[in-house]
Amino acid sequence: MSEHRQHNLDSEDAELLDLLLFALDDEELVSDEVGGEDAAILRMVMEAAQAEVEVPQNDLRDHRIINAVLEETRPKQQTQWHYWAAAAAVAGLVLGGLAFWSAQTQEPVAPPVVAAAPLELRPLLNEPEDKLQVAHAVTAYSDTAFSIGEDVGILLEKDSVATVMHADTDGIEIRVLKGAILANVTPNKNVNLLVHSGDSTVKVTGTVFAVRAGKNADVKVLRGSVKVQRASAKTHAVKGGESLVFENEKVSTFDPATEWKAWTYHEVLERRGEKEQAWLDVQGTPGATIKVDGKVLGTSPMRVTVAPGKHSVSAHKDGMESKSQDVSALVDRHSRVVFALQSKKAPTSIDTTAKATEAPSSRELLNRALAFRKKKQWSKAAAAYNDLIRQHPRSGEAKTSLISLADLELDRLKRPSKALQHYSRYLRSGGGLSQEATYGQIRAYRRLGDKNNEKRTIERFLKKYPTAVQAQALRSRLKEL
């Protein structure tokens, strides 16, 4: 085909005729019977038709299409379970090179009626969270360590790619796509973990082992034992200190201690049980018994390590008025709680209010949330928004934060029911972001699979905002529903 050329009506005849000489090699329309001007017309028409189609630039349209496609093809929780069941069902089949993908085409078996709770994925290394996408599925790249729930720690070798396909209380599935991972599973906790590499699957309940993908794909068991299922339906039990090369199914031995140390950041797996922490520094009247969430923890002054979030702190001392207060403990922060207890007989009008000092302003909390967002530390951002909303419920920041928090819960933390609460709370008092909030509700219902409410909310949305950007997509969604 002749090269595509731009020209306009003012072009020189010569240029147009020149173009004709390079005319299409399509001899089917321009046959021998036609010649002269006729042939020229036909050639020019075909030239124009075969030139690359110009797509008018429209970012909004493109954005809408991309989001609609992603939304439509988003893996659903239920589907993941189907896949899980299907994968288990076909594990014994001869699967071939891309066994895993063909497994997905199997008809899903009837899902058992089990409400599996999703497990949280948390990065264990102090580094940007974007290496680790906390989602239904997570892809982790080189030198990353993360935990899945309480009992599984995963470490990725440099330049490795692994995907968590599924992680809930029913089980966890990981595929090593490139490089190797080290998995550390708490023993005796009945953790159902499958690690796929190529056409092999390593099944484990409590152990430490490394799985490698690629040419020399293998598993090395550092502690405990694993079962390896090959595509050929063959299974192998591999014990601590043994490794199995999938390809030739050859077992050899190695020193687990050396292997363990060879892994950069291996120590983070030992620490993975540790949660995010916060501290309460309880001060004031000395010698008062301090209870946190109803548990006696000691006497003031004292420092208490707590999980971030709201805690009820109280101080009791014989002959004094007891005091209690709800305190929000912020992640990685020391929150000071001061109890100035008064003698029981003393007048209570004196200011004895216990107060948590260092209570940040709404603006500070908002900035904190924004900073975490920027760093893609979604859980921390959510915590900051929550603090802002709780501590300064009447502030303007709190109001708009409801939408930000809801979006965060929905899109990043995959907690649609929480998102729904925040959108609804915003809508109860109304505001300039009502359209966004209603659209958010629709998305949340969809994520939850609540078709009735989704439909109702779409109808409400279209009635109220018929010309909204999302209206067209919602109308077609309504048809599906």
Partner 1 sequence: MDDAKDEVDFSDDLLLAQRAVAMDARARRDVVTRLLKPVQRIVYGLVRDDSEADDWVQESLIEVIKSLKNYRGETKLEYWSKRIVVRTTLRKVKARRSRDSLVTPQDELPEMRDERPNPQTMLRRRLNHHLSKLSPEQSEALTLKLIHGYSVEEVAKLTDAKVNTVRGRLRNGRALLREQLLADPILREWAARNLR
Binding site for partner 1 (CB under 8 A): 6-9, 11, 13, 16-17, 20, 26, 28-29, 31, 34, 37-38, 40-42, 44-53, 55, 61-62, 65-66, 68-70, 72-75, 80, 98, 101-102, 104-105, 133, 135-139, 161, 163, 165, 175, 177-178, 476
C-beta neighbour count of 293 within 10 angstroms: 12
- Is the CB of 302 or the CB of 478 nearer to partner 1? 478
- Is the CB of 72 or the CB of 332 nearer to partner 1? 72
- Is the CB of 72 or the CB of 274 nearer to partner 1? 72
- Is the CB of 15 or the CB of 326 nearer to partner 1? 15
Give the strand pairing for 334-339 and 278-284.
Answer: parallel
- Is the CB of 59 or the CB of 318 nearer to partner 1? 59
Lookup: tokens for 217: 């794909």
> Least distance (Å) from partner 1 to the CB of residue 72?
5
> Least distance (Å) from partner 1 to the CB of residue 80?
7
> Least distance (Å) from partner 1 to the CB of residue 107?
14
- Is the CB of 57 or the CB of 188 nearer to partner 1? 57
> Least distance (Å) from partner 1 to the CB of residue 150?
23
- Is the CB of 178 or the CB of 355 nearer to partner 1? 178
> Least distance (Å) from partner 1 to the CB of residue 123?
15
> Least distance (Å) from partner 1 to the CB of residue 249?
24
Please name the residues in contact with 231: beta carbons below 8 A apart, sequence gap of 6 or more.
Answer: 93, 94, 95, 96, 99, 199, 200
- Is the CB of 168 or the CB of 242 nearer to partner 1? 168
> Least distance (Å) from partner 1 to the CB of residue 473?
8
> Least distance (Å) from partner 1 to the CB of residue 453?
24
